[in-house]
Amino acid sequence: MVAWGIVMTIMAFVKNFSQLMTASLFFAGAAIAGAFNSFLAFSITSLDGKFGLNGWQWLFMIDGVVTVIIAFLSYFIFPDYAETATWLTENERKLAIERIRLDTGESAYSTHFDKFQIIQAFKDLKIYIFMVIYFCIVVILFSFAFFIPSIVNGLGFNTVISQLLSSPPFIFGCISSIIIAKLSGRYKVYGPYLIFNLLISMMGYILLIVPSDTTSLKYIGACIAGLGIFACIPTSLTWLTSNLAGDSKRAVGSAMMIAWGNIGGVVSGQLYRSSDAPAYKTGHSVALSLLAVAVILSIIQYYLLNRANKYKLKDPERFLKGLNEEEVMNLGDLHPSFIYSL
């Protein structure tokens, strides 16, 4: 739900191709947290026995208190839309609204509850394609994040060194996310960069699977896998939201995608079993297969969106035929003036 709330807030204030940079900064924070999680956990658990509390209790309490305080403050700081942002002046609110209105198109801009848009979300094929893509990415990312210390430990390092060597893949993923967001904003595309990152991650898993006694090669494979997969989360999310028009449809569509992706978190826990150590070939092979599925579906999605754009430009009247003025205004991203982001 936190990710969904962040995505909806970003869409309310940030223009299309700037959304990826904003989302990447948010998810980069998660990557950095993963990189330094072991160090933080070690420091907090050293409080074991203080005031009669176990180390794990201190860990849950400190992390939980900080999260709850930030969440409480966010309720008062984050507005739903620019229209309700009390910390903006009247002129700033008008400017913020106009920026988003011009970016999405008059027919696509709406901030009210709309049953028609919700129905359209459940009937939209591209949302279901994005759901499967996101599911594949989340399964891989969660399994990678949870088991990277075990994977590194399986390369022959002791527990302490494994914890230290688990950080670089997260750091590389953080840097990759920012670079991809910058390039996407410059060249105004999402799909090619998503596919590129998926292929990079595939290269990493291939190095992990290929039989080799060279520890350094396996570790490089883990770093390459992290380099590719972390940028895929914000890229896939913003690729979806940039192609949904109308607040209700974006809210439902992004919720469908994130909810389905969260199921991947359950599946990810089954990929790396202790019985497969130290090579973990089964987990790596499943991850590689899911990456291949995500690549294929991303290519299909790119093709379908590009074809829809060509139809809209070639014969825009076909999308408006037989519709009254109100129905035309409710078309959202189906309106011929709305061009899909590729």
Neighbouring residues of 165: CB distance < 8 A, sequence distance ≥ 6: 152, 157, 219
List, in sequence order, the alpha helices (H) in the chain: 2-13, 19-45, 55-77, 90-104, 115-123, 125-153, 159-165, 167-187, 191-209, 215-229, 232-241, 247-268, 281-314, 325-329
Q: What is the DSSP string of 313-334?
A: HH-GGGGTTT--HHHHHT-GGG
What DSSP character marks residue 339? P
Q: What is the pLDDT of residue 77?
A: 74
Q: What is the pLDDT of residue 337?
A: 79
Q: What is the pLDDT of residue 289?
A: 94
**Distance (Å, whole) CA 100 – CA 192:** 25
Q: What is the pLDDT of residue 35?
A: 62
Q: Which residues of 135-158 are buried (b: 16+ CB within 10 A; e: fewer)?
A: bbbbbbbbbbbbbbbbbbbbbebe
Neighbouring residues of 269: CB distance < 8 A, sequence distance ≥ 6: 142, 143, 146
- Cα distances (Å, whole numbers) of residue 78 to 189, 255, 274, 303: 28, 19, 44, 37
Q: What is the pLDDT of residue 296?
A: 97
Contact 154, 278 (CB under 8 A): yes
Q: Which CATH superfamily is domain 2-334 in?
A: MFS general substrate transporter like domains (1.20.1250.20)
One-letter amino acid for residue 77 of the chain: I
Residue among 153, 89, 100, 137 at smallest CA distance from 260: 137
**In the block, which residue shows the tokens 């420091």?**
43
The dihedral sign for the CA sequence 177, 182, 183, 189: positive
pLDDT tens per residue across all 342 residues of the chain? 566 666 666 666 666 556 667 777 777 777 676 666 666 666 666 667 777 777 667 777 777 787 788 778 877 777 666 666 666 677 767 776 666 666 655 555 555 567 778 888 888 899 999 999 999 999 998 888 777 777 677 666 666 666 677 778 888 888 888 898 888 888 889 999 999 999 999 999 998 888 877 777 888 888 899 889 988 988 998 899 889 887 788 888 888 898 898 888 888 877 877 777 777 788 889 999 999 999 999 999 999 999 999 988 888 777 777 677 766 677 778 788 788 888
The token pair that represents 188 in the structure block: 């105004």
pTM for the model: 0.82
